[in-house]
Amino acid sequence: MKKNKILYIGFILALFLTSCSSTTYFTNEMRNTLYKNGEPVSKVQFYNSHSIILKRNLSYADTKVARGTIKFENGQYVEEIIIPKNTPGVAVGQGRNYLNVAFENGRNRDLKFVKNDRDYYQFTPESWNNNYGKVIYDTLIYYVEPGSDRALLKVKKEIVNNFQKNKRVVKGVTVGRE
């Protein structure tokens, strides 16, 4: 009985905390509304729902030119690029079912978010190799840390409210009025 109470209180607390969030998941419906209103998706401020970690092995000579954090791991130098949860990003490319979002300035520094079966845009590596996703970032090949592929695109809730501001209610016309 006590265990059920703790689970129930935990569920209520989790529900409360998620309802206080200022962001919501970006959906294809929102994207279609933007399109109908003539708003470019490149003007939307996006955020990632989970941290995204990219890694690549380096030779000793490459360690001097690497841009991310360099760690010595299992006898190898590893460059790690971390995109923390809720990092702001902008759409720099798009297709029918995907958006390329950049979380830092520079050419070829964008990640692909593909529309999933729940209508959200989810980070998707270009290919997979032994449970590790593979992406080309800044013209180099990186491996995606497991769990990073759970990242979804989010937007501020105020943008959703702004969609509704474009609507108007017609009051009608009465006889004798022009």
How would you write the pLDDT of the chain (178 residues) with one tens digit per residue?
A: 555 445 434 444 444 444 457 899 999 999 999 999 899 999 999 999 999 999 988 765 554 544 555 565 556 778 889 999 999 999 999 999 999 999 999 999 999 999 999 999 999 999 988 778 999 999 899 999 999 999 999 999 876 655 555 556 777 777 876 5
**According to the model, what pLDDT value does residue 149 have?**
92
Q: Rounded to the nearest 10 degrees, how much is the dihedral formed by the CA atoms of 82, 83, 85, 87?
A: 150
Which parts of the chain fold into alpha helices (H)? 2-19, 28-36, 157-165
Q: CA torsion sign, 65 to 68 to 72 to 75? A: negative
Q: Regarding beta strands 110-115 and 23-25, do their DSSP bridges make them parallel or antiparallel, or are they unpaired? A: unpaired
Q: Tokens at residue 160, please?
A: 């959703």
Instruction: Let me know how long the chain is.
Output: 178
**According to the model, what pLDDT value does residue 167 have?**
58
**According to the model, what pLDDT value does residue 112 have?**
97
CB 122 within 8 A of CB 81: no
**According to the model, what pLDDT value does residue 144 have?**
95
CB proximity list for 71: less than 8 A, separation 6 or greater: 77, 78, 80
Q: What is the pTM of this model?
A: 0.72
